[in-house]
Amino acid sequence: MPVSASHSFSPWPRWLALACLPGVAWAGTEATTPASPVAVPAQWHAEAPAAGALDPAALVHWWERFDDTVLTQLVENALRSSPDVRTALAKIESARANHGIQRASLLPSLTGDASGRRTRTRVHDTDVVTNADSAGASLDASWEIDLFGKQRTALSATAADLAQAEENLRDAQVTLAAEVASTYVSLRSAEANLAATQRSLATREESLQLARWREQVGTTSSLDTQQAITTVEQARASVPALQQSILETRNRLAVLCGQTPGSLDTLLATTGAVPAAPAAIAVGIPAETLRQRPDVRAAGRAVEAAAARTSAAKRDRFPTLKLTGSVGVNALDAGKLFSPETTVASLVGSLTAPIFAGGRIHNTIALRTATEKQVLIAYESAVLTALSEVENALSAVRRHSERLAALATAATAARDASALARQQYEAGTVDFLTVLDAERNALGVEQQQVSATADLTTAHIQLYKALGGGWTNL
């Protein structure tokens, strides 16, 4: 497998394209590299929301399609300040430095040395003192010639490491954007549930007041009043839990954005509705998704790096050629240090080959080969996971849409039933239990409707994530 020494990433590595074609085995760099069994289907099994080719440009800022300015601001803040993104950036810097270190091994090294010495000698028999001065300077160079490409192959491995770190940053951006959006939807869902509970509480308090009036005039017994009090307090008891959930979700958003808890309270002070899901998404075909997803691309870069390191380990069996040169001057007088007659030069070449290493080279090759197999399996797992996530998200979008449509009809009927039950109770044609049941049903259906709306929006968010949306080129 040819591995470029540059860390620039081609959109679709040749080996990955081959691996994703049915019936085509991935050959790798060495004959021992296992073939990839991944066969990518031509189409998605789940019914897609919309046909058409996948548009990577439309996936870059997919959260803007929800038409919610607060959501957009939260995601953009998180992508700038999140600890996860900053950690991924630091890992890129580390990988870039490691690549630079490996590149330096291909170049000659040059060192300089300068020395001065003064010797004082005294002969006791004659009491004669003599002084001797000497000075020297030298330039020493060494260069290991990369005869069989071991160093270049190792450089290719670090280039793949750098490219993998860049893909990991993109994957962190994808995950972070989806997590912020999903958490924001959870916040709006909790706020909607709180509002529904408070409306139900107000309705139940009206029913309680009605029961008390009827008890005072002797139309009903105190049983209706006590039952009304029970339902009122039950509704009131659920309010603190929802308020706590809202507080915790706001703090979670602050942490995702790299801010202290409470920092986003001003931004989130105004209660909003759960963001509406977009009408349609062009999902393209599976192969396009694999090209777009940074986690799959990162897994591919890991395979490249592992294959290069296996190849470099095998090149340890070959001889190495090292050139060593030196140019120096030595003089008894510092003033004559750079005279031509004081110059000394040397050039030495050495060729060394391993004869016996106690199995070190053999076991290193075995270790690298086993590591290469592991990362290839990890790549296959990444492909399968990507395909599964898209299929699940497509199915979730469809199922939640169906559920929401049914709940919309149920919610209208439940609200009408609650109003009719109270009117009939006032007229004395039904008992109070009918009123309570109607109110409970109305609240339950409304909460289910809120939950279904949030689930549908979250399913769209997960679909955007599964398609690899939310990152840009570095």
- Within a domain: 462: yes
Is the model's pLDDT at 302 over the cut of 50? yes
- Within a domain: 7: no
Residues 164, 113 share a domain: no
Is the model's pLDDT at 340 over the cut of 60? no
- Within a domain: 6: no
Integer Cα distance of 16 and 32 in angstroms: 18
Coil, strand, or helix at residue 344?
strand
| pLDDT value for 296 | 92
Q: Using alpha carbons only, what angle is made at residue 51 by residues 45 and 55, rounded to the nearest 5 degrees?
A: 110
Residues 461, 390 share a domain: yes
- Residues 184-210 have pLDDT tens digits of 999 999 998 898 888 888 888 888 888
Residue pointed to by tokens 């953009």 = 76
CATH code at 348? Answer: 2.20.200.10
Most confident among 53-67, 240-254, 313-327 (mean pLDDT):
240-254
Per-residue buried b or exposed e for 149-166, using 16+ beta carbons within 10 Å of the residue's own CB: ebbbbbbbbbbbbbbbbb
CATH code at 277? Answer: 1.20.1600.10
Residues 131, 223 share a domain: no
Is the model's pLDDT at 321 over the cut of 80? yes
| pLDDT value for 123 | 67
Portion of the chain with pLDDT greater than 70, in percent: 83
Residue pointed to by tokens 């069996």 = 317
- Residues 128-152 have pLDDT tens digits of 767 666 666 677 888 888 888 889 9
Residues 230, 170 share a domain: yes
- Within a domain: 46: yes
Per-residue buried b or exposed e for 33-44, using 16+ beta carbons within 10 Å of the residue's own CB: beebebebeeeb
| pLDDT value for 19 | 39
Is the model's pLDDT at 30 over the cut of 50? no
Indicate the pLDDT class of residue 433, thresholds 50, 70 and 90: confident
Residues 461, 402 share a domain: yes
Please count the structural domains in the chain. 2
Residues 242, 130 share a domain: no
Residues 323, 313 share a domain: no
Is the model's pLDDT at 34 over the cut of 90? no
| pLDDT value for 331 | 52
Integer Cα distance of 350 and 365 in angstroms: 25
- Within a domain: 2: no
- Within a domain: 203: yes
Residues 433, 323 share a domain: no
Portion of the chain with pLDDT greater than 90, in percent: 40
Is the model's pLDDT at 322 over the cut of 70? yes
Indicate the pLDDT class of residue 336, thresholds 50, 70 and 90: low
Is the model's pLDDT at 312 over the cut of 70? yes
Is the model's pLDDT at 469 over the cut of 60? yes
Of residues 62 and 31, more confidently modeled: 62
pLDDT mean across residues, the chain: 82
| pLDDT value for 329 | 67
Is the model's pLDDT at 271 over the cut of 90? no
Residues 301, 331 share a domain: no
Indicate the pLDDT class of residue 37, thresholds 50, 70 and 90: low
Cα separations (Å) of 64 from 67, 73, 85, 257, 452?
Answer: 6, 10, 20, 17, 21
- Within a domain: 473: no
Indicate the pLDDT class of residue 223, thresholds 50, 70 and 90: confident
Residues 49, 134 share a domain: no
Span 287-311, mean pLDDT?
92
Most confident among 108-112, 183-187, 345-349, 438-442 (mean pLDDT):
183-187
Span 62-75, mean pLDDT?
93
Span 377-385, mean pLDDT?
92
Residues 230, 171 share a domain: yes
**136, 328 contact by CB (below 8 A):** yes
| pLDDT value for 26 | 34
DSSP string for residues in 118-182: EEEEEETTTTEEEEEEEEEEEEEEEEEE-TTSHHHHHHHHHHHHHHHHHHHHHHHHHHHHHHHHH
Is the model's pLDDT at 363 over the cut of 50? yes
Indicate the pLDDT class of residue 348, thresholds 50, 70 and 90: confident
Coil, strand, or helix at residue 276?
coil
DSSP letter (8 states) at residue 316: G
Backbone phi, then psi, for 162, in 5-degree steps?
-65, -45
Domain that holds residue 29: 14-106+148-317+360-466
| pLDDT value for 346 | 76
Q: Cβ–Cβ contacts within 10 Å for residue 337, how many?
A: 18
Residues 173, 308 share a domain: yes
